Chains A and B, each alone.
Chain A
Amino acid sequence: MEPILELRGITKRFPGVLANDHIDLKLYKGEILALLGENGAGKTTLMNILYGLYSQDEGEIFVKGNSINIQSPTDAIHAGIGMVHQHFMLIPVFDVTENVMLGNEYTKPGGFLDKLKAASHVRAISDQYNLNIDPNAIIEDLPIGLQQRVEIIKILFHDAEILIMDEPSAVLTPQEVEELFKIMHSLIDQGKSIIFITHKLGEVMECTDRIMVIRGGKVVGESTPEEANPETLATMMVGRPVELKVEKELSKPGDTVLQVENLTVVNKNKKIEIDDISFDVRAGEILGIAGVQGNGQTELVRCLTGLIKAELGTINILGVNSTNFDPRKITELGVAHIPEDRQKDGLVLPIPVEDNLVLNTYYKEPFAKGIVMQPDVITNNANELIDDFDIRTPNSTVSVSGLSGGNQQKVIVAREFSRPIKLLIASQPTRGLDVGSIEYIHRRIIEKRDEGCAILLVSTELDEVMQLADRIAVMYRGKILAIVDAEIATKEELGLLMAGISTQISGEKRKPRKVREIVT
């Protein structure tokens, strides 16, 4: 069978980097091809060449057997290629139809927009692929998962045959990911072809027909979900054997470090975000908070770290009533915080790596004497941490915005772990990171636990919580429905709790395991 799309010997050089090195790729009609690789492996560069955002230095592109020259996204669209970007290209205040028709407007005689015709076209596409999108909805009112579908409609509106999806699951909740996979299958059932860019092994195994692994700009292997297993794929991707399992001993909990009693948080509109919850975390244990995004986890972490105020209840850290302390006082109690949104909360992107590494200790000895900062000390500190935590950066003075997501997260982890801490509050510590970085951060968190640090881990990735936590609390609509020992929890039962369907766990004791396996 002739491939619908073929790339032959695509090579792209950037100053000092060979981003793509003679890449060959074939995509057949009606299949989902996974392009798997770590951040910076060259996946996105390759797709940007295909979409006309870059032009290749060498190599040829064939669509349905004909060599074509793609100079711009317009050329790509004409060739039937469409791309769903990781960061959506939508105008928030426009409605769905306006966004979809932008750049390809239907007009009535006299140059007036024919929005009705466009809207009916949008509705037809939505119905055909079960996308369930209202053409008149305003983009900013839609959840992220639906916004992504609007991006897909945009492509289909241009009659694309080949869809490129750049890390589409990175921004979605687990439920939305499931929905996305259904949509992808409905697309290929109707004759479309998809290139699915990702670094998540679980997704690759779950929803693709063929897998191509890229590392360092080269194709390093091809496989199918039937033949491959997560370990071999991870090894291909990273270039060395990767521990997908984190070795950990049973916890030896010590004294209570964090004690939360009857905590209630309301938002600006007086809506209850956290509803009368109580729990504690002891030294040397990890309490995992599982739950679907948006069930109060964000507010819980922000309240514990002093970023928002509690309405009722008390927070005790190391015996100190720290309810409504400001963030600095809480930090000074020995609390570390890995924030959910690293770029918005955790880093000041335009300033150097070395300054970000002292973002919450800059005013203390030895980084400052009085009010005078000590640049040499700050630089030395940065160089040590860059070595210790394997942060990939040209030097300590480049701005942190130039680092990859994984390395930005390592900057935060290095900063938070480098001072003596008693309590770590980690929110989505590995979101959007590649396998190598996830492995690394997980290992560091377990190390901290074994040093006797109390850890509160919040993650919407149930696998991550199940792998790391010693006890698991499930949050649903601002309440903690149950706190269970991780040894007896099963994925199915936790899933039901997360969905709010059940409110307790059966409690049937399974055989304790020392090592738990996850698929990232």
Chain B
Amino acid sequence: MKENKFSKINNFLKIFLEEVSRSSLTYIILAVFTGLVLGGIIAAATTQDIYEAFDESFIGGISASLKFIWKTYSSLFLGSFGNPSKMVSSLFSGDKAAMRTAFKPFLESLVVTTPYLLTGVAIALGFQAGVFNIGGEGQLFMGSIMAGWAGWTFKGLPPIVHVPLALLIGILAGALWGFIPGWLKAKTGSHEVINTIMMNYIAFNLSQYLIVGPFQDPNESFKTRFIEESAHLYRFFEDPLRLNIGILIAIVVAVLAWYVLYKTTWGFEIRIVGLNPKASKYAGVNSSLITILSLTISGAIAGLAGSVEMLGVNFRAVQSLTTGYGFDAIAIALLAKNNPLMVIITAMLFGFMRQGSRVMQINTGIPIDIISILQAFILFFIAAPAIIRTIYRLKEPKQGDLTPQMTGSGEKI
């Protein structure tokens, strides 16, 4: 019995690793590495002290730069993972408060990873079906605000009912925000890129209106009410650690999405519609339906991301323009070559960097924006594989790339 379980886990790991290697992991690691090197150079080049060191002597300048880059990345590491020696010593001491402090960066990074993972899977799913969902952000907003509404409106429900209900309402709101552009694309041929962007604006403004209007807290302006206790997602640790069951939900969704995409007939249909819409029609697949469904499900998962943020982390909505999750998710999906299992890794990369950069800013004074530059470099190298191939003298991949074809504007499918 036990052996069986073990071999199952083993089997799963094997599949996971296979998938990762199929997406040419070396290549992605090299792109990340190159991005880190260039990001370090940019960080050093924008710092006054480095120039002063160069004024004194060249060697001094170089060593100051290296020290500075080391400091940047080590504080990025400390901010995102935490201090390993403190972690170990806190574990030995058994002091709960010390443990919380030592593990906080790592656990907080996971909190940030959660919405990245969900929106990344959402966008990847869209790409697989050949639709470019730029509306992740709007779908996330709608999911968040509607999950919140369910969170504070229903009172006296047991958590076992209230949490799923609020999540479901958030998912439906996101799904609606995906369905509309999907339906428009399938029925009228209008391009989903334009429509999802427009849906973003509607979502932003609608939620801003709701926050300062009907949903506003009677005692506090520009904020909504708090959700009921019974709608809170289960948190693993005491405050201030915010890690909640959302990360598990996200991982389950990613694995499920991978399974559906690569192991079921639905996924087969989604992939062939994405890769060759004409042949999918020939094969008898209802490609309009697949387009609508994929964007709807993509929206639903992004809506879930917003709901999890609301019910697990924020508990209320505050007036703001954007979280950036839905946009970064495009990069996360592309970096993962639209493979939901790979998204687990790339979402962690983004989540940990985002969390770590805050600490880095406090410790070194380097602005958070340097991380955006770094991420931009990484994406740039992923998008232009020839550069990485030339730098590291990699061979051309033999097989055709599995990049779905985007249908052009005005093309009815």
Contact = CB atoms under 8 A, between A and B. Distances in A.
Interface in B257-278: 263-266, 268, 271-272, 275-276, 278
Contacts of A372: 263-265
Interface in B233-279: 263-266, 268, 271-272, 275-276, 278-279
Contact of B263 (A351, A362, A373): A373
A348 B276 contact: yes
A256 to B, nearest CB: 25
B399 interface: yes
B158 interface: no
Contacts of A185: none
Contacts of B271: 351
Contacts of B278: 344-345
Q: Please classify how large the interface on chain A is, using the bins under 10, 10 to 19, 20 to 34, 35 or more.
A: 20 to 34
Interface centre among B268, B278, B400, B403 (most CB of A within 10 A): B268
A495 B81 CA distance: 78
Given A351-B272, A373-B263, A337 B401 contact: no
A257 interface: no
B284 A399 contact: no
Interface in A276-292: none
Interface in B168-224: none
B22 to A, nearest CB: 11
Given A359-B272, A362-B268, A345 B284 contact: no
Contact of A350 (B281, B284, B400): B400
A348 B275 contact: yes
Contacts of A345: 278-279, 281-282
A205 to B, nearest CB: 36
A373 B400 CA distance: 23
A348 B266 CA distance: 16
A245 to B, nearest CB: 33
Contact of A398 (B263, B266, B282, B399): B399
Contacts of A399: 399-400
A468 B148 CA distance: 70
A351 B128 CA distance: 13
B62 interface: no
A344 B283 CA distance: 12
A347 interface: yes
Interface residues of B, number: 24
Contact of B276 (A307, A327, A349, A375): A349
Contacts of B264: 368, 371-373
Interface in A354-380: 355, 359-360, 362-363, 368, 371-373, 375
A389 B279 CA distance: 22
A1 B380 CA distance: 58
B275 A355 contact: no
Given A307-B281, A345-B282, A371 B265 contact: yes
A114 interface: no
B88 interface: no
A401 interface: yes
Given A359-B272, A401-B400, A402-B400, A348 B280 contact: yes
Interface in A284-323: 305, 307
B286 interface: yes
A212 to B, nearest CB: 31
Interface in A227-243: none
A375 B266 CA distance: 14
B362 interface: no
B284 A331 contact: yes
Nearest to A364: B265
Nearest to B266: A371
Contacts of A375: 263
Contacts of A402: 398-400
A372 B268 CA distance: 10
A348 B281 CA distance: 11
A351 B269 CA distance: 12
Contacts of A447: none
A189 interface: no
B268 A355 contact: yes
A489 B340 CA distance: 60
Interface centre among B265, B281, B282, B399 (most CB of A within 10 A): B282
B402 interface: yes
A349 B278 CA distance: 12
Contact of B282 (A327, A350, A373, A401): A327
Nearest to B401: A350
B281 A362 contact: no
Contacts of B266: 371
B218 to A, nearest CB: 49
B268 to A, nearest CB: 5
Interface centre among B284, B285, B286, B403 (most CB of A within 10 A): B284
Contact of A360 (B263, B284, B400): B284
A136 B170 CA distance: 58
A346 B283 CA distance: 8
Contact of B279 (A305, A346, A363): A346
A373 B271 CA distance: 14
A360 B283 contact: yes
A328 interface: yes
Contact of A327 (B268, B284, B401, B402): B284
A260 B369 CA distance: 67
Nearest to B282: A345
Interface of B: 263-266, 268, 271-272, 275-276, 278-286, 398-403
18 contacts: A307-B281, A326-B286, A327-B283, A328-B283, A328-B284, A329-B284, A337-B282, A345-B279, A347-B276, A347-B279, A348-B280, A349-B276, A350-B403, A351-B271, A363-B265, A372-B263, A402-B398, A402-B400
Given A359-B283, A371-B265, 5 more contacts: A350-B399, A350-B400, A368-B264, A373-B263, A401-B400
